[in-house]
Amino acid sequence: MRPILFCAALLLATTPAFATPAKKGHAATAPAKKEAATKKAPDFDIGQVMAVFDKIFPAQPEPPPARLALAQTSVKALFPDGTYARMMGGMMNGLADRVLSLNTADFAKPGEKAKATDAMTLRQQMAKDDPYFEERMKIMERVIGEEFAKMAAIIEPRLRDGLARSMARRFDEKQLADINAFLATDSGKAFGSQSMAMYVDPDVMRAMMSSLPEVMKGMPEAMQRIQTETAKLPKPKSKSKDKSEPAG
């Protein structure tokens, strides 16, 4: 799930780069600029984003039918109906309550002077300005849950299909048969029903987040290595220099 969100965010961020550039030597006149400013911004083109996404993750070779059939059996055990909704619901369950239980002091910098309101939780601060805050939150949580269930019904079958295709390419028939034999046991059924949910378990999320300070600390060193190891390469041509050169 995390890579999917990252790639989607990356595509959304880079989509404007595919806009048609203005022709050189034809600067816009004042009326043209004014007209452009008043024009409605073009609607978001999901088709364009999906086309780029399709190039980044091209279709893979069709798996052998026998292996795909075995992999589909595996995925049914590893990703039974309703898993996606339960997985995301479990991750979100109580998250809003925990966030709202924080107070301003939790975000204060070390040594910062405390204010009288710092002890108030975010929930208390919101409720102070909105007498219907709790009722509003309940409605929002219910609607989000219902709408997410609709989205999960669309996402889950496609995710299951992708997992089956991936497994069919990564494991041969004997390996898939062995996997299915295990998943058919009581222990295998228990493992299969929980395998995906474990990736968003609080312990797993905490373990992932605990590495963040060390990862961030190592980033400057990584950037320095890139600069050092690419220093021997010729510098990219300057755009301003290219423009000043006479046409051949």
Cα–Cα dist 247/18, whole Å:
26
Closest CA to 87 of 239, 225, 199: 199
Angle between helices 202-210 and 212-230 (to 10 degrees): 40
Domains: count for the chain = 1
Instruction: Assess whether pLDDT exceeds 80 at residue 81.
Output: yes
The pLDDT tens digits of the residues spanning 196-218 come to: 888 888 899 899 999 999 999 99
Task: Name the residue range of residue 178's domain.
Answer: 79-104+119-206
- Is 118 in contact with 108 (CB distance < 8 Å)? yes
Question: Residue 215 domain-assigned?
Answer: no
Q: What type of residue sits at position 83?
A: T
Q: Please report whether residue 68 resides in a domain.
A: no
* pTM score of the predicted model: 0.65
The reply to whether 45 falls in a domain is no
pLDDT above 60 (res 122): yes
129 Cβ neighbours under 8 A, 6+ residues apart? none
More confident residue, 75 or 205: 75
186 vs 7, 77, 79, 181, CA distance in Å?
Answer: 37, 11, 16, 11
* Residue 242 maps to a domain: no
Q: Are 196 and 83 in contact (CB under 8 A)?
A: yes
Q: Is residue 47 in a domain?
A: no
C-beta separation of 103 from 118 below 8 A: yes
pLDDT tens per residue, range 57-66: 998 999 999 9
- Of 233 and 246, which is predicted with more confidence? 233
Please report whether residue 160 resides in a domain. yes
List pLDDT tens digits, range 102-119.
988 887 777 777 676 678
The model's pLDDT over 7-34, given as tens digits with 9 standing for 90+, comes to 444 444 434 443 444 444 444 455 555 5
9 falls within a domain: no
Considering the domain boundaries, does residue 241 fall inside one?
no
pLDDT higher at 27 or 100: 100
